[in-house]
């Protein structure tokens, strides 16, 4: 596959401690398109060895708006069903530029390892030094080894190592959309995580046309009212939690966006320094990047203050546990109770949707109604939008707020970028295969 691709699939045989590489076949892209379409196919190919498949979308890492996302596809060790977790922040794009479109982790390693992927090379590394360390310590340790603070990581904490059903794979230092216990799946394979860095180049078949159309679409996005809004507070307000914005405001430092995503979906809260500070703080770990809307709302609903809710989010991110599950299942309502509950949670938090795409992304349109009437129509629209986002590599939250990112223009850009002739029938088939 010459275009919009690193043209490589990495197969990691954990039991044998060996890696092999396949080319990404153009015919396969014509059939499965990319992202979750492809990760599901690779999962089925290696199903006997209970694989975890990591991948990026066909448009990930380009100038089409919001092309931040990658995807992790695996069987949830909790529900037993095949499901997908979006990869956001700058990690999805780093995976693609590190030189592999897809990575299959199959079998079980006999000792703790991590995967180090850089510029088209993949190494299995010993993780004995970081086994037992939390998510933050591990990311910091890997960055120190390589001497590069831009290293992007997928990493589990103590929760995943101990096999908790609520264990999350985290991104760098932050909580993710893993509501499936993939952290437990990583831990069960003795994989502490993976680190990515790369400076690849993706060619487009018709680069000028691709950039021209991407720009037209971005220009059409800019007049939306939501472009004047920012961060998790405004998303909470759009979900009917209007009071979150004012409740959180006193500790908000800044808002930031995932790669090329016009709306900043992440909000940094300062807990141990002045949130108004614009110079660099001297405090090493002053706060937390809020990446989980429902985790935040959940802690607020327990009655925690904004600062304590963010402290709970920080503790969850370090431990590598799903904050939404913790907020839902915590037996006590104080910050101390919440933190003490990590190793003792039980029960199943409710999961919205069909259990295939992560309800970490709000399950209804944001900042508008997309002409939907609610009920099944909205539920089906959401599943389809999550499928689309996961195939093309679009930020899943931006996909439910932005009417200008359409199936038609995603397909159009995919065809301009690759010179393939992907059509709606193929897309429908891939989406049906994902949504069931």
Where does this chain bind other proteins (CB under 8 A)? 4, 61-63, 65, 90, 93, 97, 136, 148-150, 172-173, 199-204, 207, 211, 215, 218, 221-222, 227, 253-264, 268, 270, 278-281, 283-287, 289
Burial 5-30, CB ≥16 within 10 A → b, else e? bbbbbbbbbbeeeebeeeebebebbe
CB 200 to other proteins: min, Å: 7
CB closer to other proteins, 102 vs 270: 270
The C-alpha torsion from 390 through 399 and 83 to 330, rounded to 10°, is 140
HEC assignment per residue over 269-314: EECCCCCCCCCCCCCCCCEEEECCHHHHHHHHHCCCCHHHHHHHHH
Q: Classify the C-alpha dihedral 230-135-317-56 as positive or negative.
A: positive
CB 413 to other proteins: min, Å: 12
Strand partners, 268: 254, 289
Query: Whose CA is closest to 156, among 379, 336, 322, 320?
Result: 320
CB closer to other proteins, 403 vs 433: 403
CB 314 to other proteins: min, Å: 11
Q: Where are the alpha helices (DSSP H) in 321-368?
A: 323-329, 335-341
CB 363 to other proteins: min, Å: 25
Q: Quickly tell me which residue has 């990493």 as its tokens.
A: 155
Question: Apex CA 288: angle with CA 86 and CA 298, to 5°?
Answer: 70
d(CA 65, CA 180): 28
CB 417 to other proteins: min, Å: 9
d(CA 410, CA 424): 11
CB closer to other proteins, 16 vs 150: 150
CB 181 to other proteins: min, Å: 26
Query: Whose CA is closest to 230, among 196, 265, 260, 197?
Result: 265
CB 47 to other proteins: min, Å: 33
Query: Whose CA is closest to 289, among 176, 130, 124, 436?
Result: 176
CB 225 to other proteins: min, Å: 14
CB 281 to other proteins: min, Å: 5
CB 199 to other proteins: min, Å: 5
The C-alpha torsion from 360 through 69 and 213 to 412, rounded to 10°, is -90
CB closer to other proteins, 64 vs 180: 64
Note whether 106 and 115 are within 8 A (CB): no
CB 377 to other proteins: min, Å: 30
CB 370 to other proteins: min, Å: 20
d(CA 115, CA 133): 16
d(CA 323, CA 306): 15
* SS3 of residue 25 by DSSP: coil
Q: Classify the C-alpha dihedral 382-384-385-391 as positive or negative.
A: positive
CB closer to other proteins, 44 vs 119: 119
d(CA 154, CA 91): 8
């Amino acid at each position: 596959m010459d275009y919009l691709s690193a043209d490589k699939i990495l197969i990691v045989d954990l039991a044998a401690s060996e890696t092999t590489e396949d080319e990404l076949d153009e015919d396969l892209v014509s059939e499965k398109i990319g992202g979750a379409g492809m990760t599901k196919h690779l999962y089925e190919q290696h199903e006997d060895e209970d694989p975890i498949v990591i991948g990026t979308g066909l448009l990930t890492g380009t100038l089409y708006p919001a092309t931040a996302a990658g995807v992790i596809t695996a069987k949830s060790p909790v529900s037993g069903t095949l499901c997908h977790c979006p990869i956001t922040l700058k990690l999805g794009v780093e995976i693609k530029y590190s030189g592999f479109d897809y990575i299959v982790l199959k079998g079980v390693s006999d000792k703790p390892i991590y995967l180090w992927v850089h510029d088209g090379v993949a190494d299995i590394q010993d993780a004995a030094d970081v086994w037992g360390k939390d998510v933050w310590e591990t990311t910091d340790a890997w960055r120190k080894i390589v001497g590069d603070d831009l290293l992007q990581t997928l990493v589990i904490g103590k929760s995943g190592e101990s096999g908790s059903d609520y264990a999350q794979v985290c991104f760098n230092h932050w909580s993710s959309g893993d509501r499936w216990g993939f952290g437990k799946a990583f831990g069960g394979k003795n994989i502490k995580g993976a680190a990515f860095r790369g400076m690849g180049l993706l060619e487009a078949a018709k680069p000028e046309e691709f950039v021209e159309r991407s720009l037209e679409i971005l220009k059409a996005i800019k007049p939306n009212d939501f472009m004047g809004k920012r961060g998790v507070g405004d998303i909470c307000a759009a979900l009917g939690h209007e009071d979150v914005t004012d409740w959180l405001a006193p500790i908000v430092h800044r808002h930031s966006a995932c790669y090329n995503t016009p709306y900043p979906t992440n909000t940094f809260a300062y807990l141990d320094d002045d949130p108004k500070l614009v110079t660099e703080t001297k405090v090493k770990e002053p706060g937390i990047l809020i990446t989980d809307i429902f985790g935040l709302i959940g802690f607020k609903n327990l009655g925690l203050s904004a600062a304590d809710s963010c402290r709970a989010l920080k503790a969850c991110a370090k431990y590598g546990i799903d904050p939404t599950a913790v907020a839902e299942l915590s037996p006590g309502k104080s910050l101390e109770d919440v933190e003490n509950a990590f190793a003792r949670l039980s029960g199943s938090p409710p999961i919205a949707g069909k259990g295939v795409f992560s309800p970490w992304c709000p399950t209804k349109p944001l900042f508008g109604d997309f002409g939907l009437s609610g009920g099944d129509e909205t539920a089906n629209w959401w599943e389809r939008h999550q499928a689309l986002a996961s195939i093309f590599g679009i930020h899943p939250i931006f996909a439910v707020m932005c009417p200008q990112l359409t199936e038609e223009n995603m397909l159009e850009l995919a065809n301009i970028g690759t010179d393939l002739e992907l059509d709606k029938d193929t897309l429908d088939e891939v989406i049906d295969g994902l949504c069931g």
